Amino acid sequence: MHKQDFPLLTNTPTVYLDSAASAQKPQSVLAAMDTFYRTYYANVHRGQCHIAAQATDLYERARRTIAAFIHAEPDTVVFTKSTTESINLVAAGYERLLRAGDEVLVCIAEHHANFVPWQQACLRSDATFKTFGITSDGTIDMADFNAQLSPRTKIVAVAQLGNVLGVANPVREIVAAAHAVGARVLVDGAQSCAHMPVNVKDLDCDFFAFSGHKLYGPTGIGVLYGKAEALSELPPYQFGGDMIRHVSVAETTFAEVPAKFEAGTPPFVEAVGLAAAVDYVQDIGMETIAEHEQNLTSLLCQGLSDIPGLTMLGDGSLKKGIVTFNVAGIHPADIAFALTQDNICVRVGHHCAMPVHARFHQDVSLRVSFGLYNEPADVATFLTSLHKTISLFGG
């Protein structure tokens, strides 16, 4: 599906199955950034020359494109360098807002980027860091969530789509319950934005974070959406140029959101690249992408189901584009090394999610993750190589 649009995949025999870590880039994204550098490159918001005006227009146009992609208003979209920075921005703000007796509630299956910042914010503010669990099939244990939620909960953090289990979480239900006790909700959308349609208005979440590089866009850019009232509560995360209203020796006043959170020179070329990526996936259709990747996921899980000693993390029937597993007696790093001899790229490790691996009594796992450019032939190639590898180890 559209593999011909991705230069790296058309110029090599690579079977790329690591899109959850970082997706490949279509030619349209590369071209948009190259044109910007060659034609419009000047710093945004400050310059008076004609190319600075063009650059600023393209940057703010990119904000509008990306806001529309998630069904948000442009002035509620903040550009950062990554999902990680977006979450840290919110957590740093809450570190100053939380008090002893307050609670932060986080899913045990979160990526460390949506786990550690909240843990550290609680340690520094004397708030209480709490977690809620998941069931053996990889879904959120809603009974545990509701038991942990209380009027003391100030913020809930949860991914829309897990980077290890590949299961879509019931975000609307979580948001509704959290709002009922007065808590705000931050949703990590790093994985979901590339795999399914996203509508922050429908989710009703207070914050939503994602990255460019997982959405077929460039590295070095992330997005933080926040409801206007939620963003206005937060203090600035960094200080510097373009985020101030007035500076004197006595005091500094700050610009309105989103400029308030965009200190210094922003990733404006990367924003244009991410907007091109958004245009690309929207031309295909997020529903079409989701259906295509679901078919690939089902093919893979069916092919893995008859392998002796293979343990999948979570229920394969619930997965969306991400499958993690181990094979008894063979370290996943050895499997990955053998696969790369056949030009197959997968991911091995704890995937920046140690607590969820501990939940399944695993230290690490092998992860296969799909992008829109993958094809059924990639699944067949992977399974053939995996069977060959297991036989080499005596399996």
Q: Which of 231, 252, 282 is the last residue of a domain?
A: 282
Q: How many CA atoms lie within 13 A of 390 on its CB side?
A: 17
C-alpha to C-alpha distance for 7 and 18, rounded to whole angstroms: 16
Specify whether 206 is located in the same domain as 254: yes
Handedness of CA 386, 388, 394, 395 (dihedral sign): positive
C-alpha span between 303 and 325 (Å, rounded): 13
Residues making up the chain, counted from first to last = 395
Point out the domain boundary residue: 249, 266, 282. 282
Q: Strands 344-345, 15-16: parallel, antiparallel or unpaired by DSSP?
A: parallel
Q: Which two tokens stand for residue 368?
A: 């296969």
* DSSP code of residue 127: P
Asked whether residue 259 falls in the same domain as residue 291, the answer is no
Same domain, 225 and 321: no
Tally of domains in the chain: 2
Distance CA 191, CA 210 (A): 8
Cβ–Cβ under 8 Å, residues 203 and 187? yes
Closest by Cα among 168, 84, 98 to 134: 168
Residues 170 and 244 placed together within one structural domain of the fold: yes
| 190 and 53 fall within a common domain | yes
| Cα→Cα distances 158→84, 193, 254, 283, Å | 13, 14, 30, 29
Q: Are residues 317 and 383 in the same domain?
A: yes
Q: Are residues 233 and 255 in the same domain?
A: yes
272 SS3 class = helix
**φ/ψ (deg, to 5) at 309:** 80, 5
pLDDT 10s per residue in the chain (395 long)? 689 999 999 978 999 999 999 999 999 999 999 999 999 899 998 777 889 899 999 999 999 999 999 999 999 999 999 999 999 999 999 999 999 999 999 999 999 999 999 999 999 999 999 999 999 999 999 999 999 999 999 999 999 999 999 999 999 999 999 999 999 999 999 999 999 999 999 999 999 999 999 999 999 999 999 999 999 999 999 999 888 999 999 999 999 999 999 999 999 999 999 999 999 999 999 999 999 999 999 999 999 999 999 999 999 999 999 999 999 999 999 999 999 999 999 999 999 999 999 999 999 999 999 999 999 999 999 999 999 999 988 75
Non-local (6+) Cβ contacts of 84 within 8 A are: 113, 211, 222
Residues 247, 318 share a domain = no
How far is residue 336's CA from residue 351's CA, in Å, rounded to a whole number?
Answer: 14
Q: What is the pTM of this model?
A: 0.96
Residues 278 and 143 placed together within one structural domain of the fold: yes
Residues 320 and 234 in one domain: no
Identity of residue 281 = V
CATH number for the domain harbouring residue 355: 3.90.1150.10
Contact 95, 70 (CB under 8 A): no
CA distance 198 to 153: 26
Q: 194: domain CATH number?
A: 3.40.640.10
Instruction: Select from 282, 310, 332 the last residue of a domain.
Output: 282
- Measured distance CA(49)–CA(28) in Å, rounded: 27
Kindly state whether residues 296 and 220 are assigned to the same domain.
Answer: no
Exposure letters 137-157 (e unless 16+ CB within 10 A, then b): ebbbbeebbeebbeebbbbbb
49 in catalytic set: no
Q: Give yes or no: residues 95 and 19 share one domain.
A: no
User: Which is the catalytic residue, given 49, 193, 345, 352?
Assistant: 352
The parent domain of residue 314 ranges over 3-23+285-392
pLDDT at 310: 96
